[in-house]
Amino acid sequence: MGSLYTEVSILADGSLAEHLVGILSQLGFEGFWEEADCLKCYMSSERWTPALEIEVEETIVRISRSSKSPTPAISVRMLENMDWNEEWKKTLAPLQVSPRIIVTPSWHTVTPRGDVVLVIDPKMAFGTGYHETTRLVLRLLEKHTRKGMSVLDVGTGTGILAIASVKLGASSAVGLDVDAWACSNALENVLQNNVADAVRIENSELTSYPHEVFDIIAANLQKDLIEQLLEEMILRLASGGLLLLSGLLMIDKAAITGRLHRASFRIVDEIAENEWIALAAMSG
C-alpha cells in the first residue's frame, strides 16, 4: 500500500483561499490544490489527529471571520499515492519577488533580471515565494541585510530565507525547523544554491537551540507561534539587531506590536501585500 494522505477540502473563494494557505501551511499541510471555489489541503495521515482536526477547524473559522467571509464547509477524506513533486512542477514557474530577487524551481531556466536568483524546489515544505508572507519577508531581508551579518531563520521550511540572506550579503545563516522533512528539503536547496559553506540547517525547536546570537532573526510563522517564541528570539538577538516577522494578518498587527513595545522594541519598517503584513523591529 502506498503512503496515505489526508485531504481536507474547504469551500472557499480565491481571496479566502490565499489567506488560508499561509496559515494552514504552518499547521503541517504539505500541499495545496485550488480549483473553482474549493481549496484542497493535504498532509500525511500519520500527522492527522483529532486534536489537529479541531485546531484546523478553529483556524478556518478565525480566518474566515477576520476576512469577513462566511465560514466555509469542510470535508475530510483519505487518499493514497500522491506524487507531490509532479503536482508542484505543474504549478510553479519563476517569480520576480522584487527588482533584485527571482525565485525559480530548478526545472526552469531563467535569465536573471536581478542579481539574486533563489533556486527553490519546495517538495512538501512551505516557503516558495509564491505566498505573500514569504515575499514580504524576502523584501525586508533585501532592505535590511548588510554584509557580514549573521541570520537565524525560525521555521525555515524550504530554507529560502536563510539562503536569500547569504545571497544578499550575510556571512552566515542558520535555518531552524522542527520538521525533519523540511530540513531535508532545505538542505537540498542549500546545496543547489551553492551556499553550504555559509548556511546551516538544524532540525530543532528554538527553545532547545543554543543561545547563539544573531544580527537578524526572521520568522515567517503564524501569530500564535510568533507570540510563543518571541522571548526566545529576543534572547538570541544581538544588540541593535532586527526581528523580521511575517505570517501576520492586518488584524494581528495590534497584538504583535503591543508585545514588541512591551519588550522595548520599536517598529522600524512595515510592508504589506493584500491582507498580510511583515514587520521589522529593533530593540530600544
Residue 1 has pLDDT above 50, yes or no: no
Same domain, 147 and 170: yes
Residues 135, 239 within the same domain? yes
SS3 25: helix
- Are 43 and 69 part of one and the same domain? yes
The residue among 80, 63, 71, 55 whose CA lies nearest residue 18 is 63
Q: What does 160-229 look like in DSSP terms, one character per residue?
A: HHHHHHHHTT-SEEEEEES-HHHHHHHHHHHHHTT-TTTEEEEES-GGGS----EEEEEEE--HHHHHHH
State how far the Cα of 215 lies from the Cα of 226, in Å rounded to an integer: 18
- Tell me: pLDDT of 179 over 80: yes
With bands split at pLDDT 50, 70 and 90, how would you rate the model's confidence at 202?
very high
Q: How many CA atoms lie within 13 A of 165 on its CB side?
A: 33
Q: Which domain holds residue 60?
A: 4-82
* Measured CA angle at 10 (ends 88, 120), to 5 deg: 20
pLDDT at 24: 82
Mean pLDDT of the chain: 87
pLDDT given at position 71: 84
C-alpha separations of 218 from 38, 162, 261 in Å: 32, 9, 18
Nine-digit cell at 151?
A: 541570520
Residue finishing a domain among 82, 112, 131: 82
Q: Are residues 211 and 225 in the same domain?
A: yes
Range in 1-5, 23-27, 135-139, 191-195 the model is least confident about = 1-5
Find out whether 205 and 225 touch, Cβ atoms under 8 Å. Answer: no
Q: Mean pLDDT, to the nearest integer, of 132-157? A: 95
Q: Is the pLDDT of residue 50 over 50?
A: yes
Show the cell assigned to 168. Answer: 544578499
Within this chain, do residues 72 and 147 fall inside the same structural domain, yes or no? no
Question: What per-residue confidence (pLDDT) applies to 118?
Answer: 92
Q: Are residues 132 and 212 in the same domain?
A: yes
Q: Are residues 41 and 126 in the same domain?
A: no
Q: Give the CATH number, domain containing residue 137.
A: 3.40.50.150
pLDDT of residue 239: 93
48 and 94 co-located in one domain: no
Sign of CA dihedral 150, 220, 30, 135: negative
Residue 242 scores a pLDDT above 90: yes
* Domain tally, the chain: 2
Could you say which of 34, 64, 82 is where a domain stops? 82
Q: Same domain, yes or no, for 19 and 138?
A: no
Exposure letters 89-101 (e unless 16+ CB within 10 A, then b): eeebebbebeebb
Does 223 lie in the same domain as 101?
yes
| Strands 38-44 and 101-104, bridge-based pairing | unpaired
Asked whether residue 96 falls in the same domain as residue 56, the answer is no
**How large is the average pLDDT for residues 215-239?**
94
Select from 82, 97, 129 the last residue of a domain.
82
Q: What pTM value is reported for the model? A: 0.75
Can you tell me the distance from the alpha carbon of 256 to that of 221, in angstroms, rounded to the nearest whole number? 12
Return the CATH number at 33.
3.30.70.260
Question: Is residue 29 domain-shared with residue 101, that is, in the same domain?
Answer: no
Q: How far apart are CA 242 and CA 174, in angstroms?
A: 15
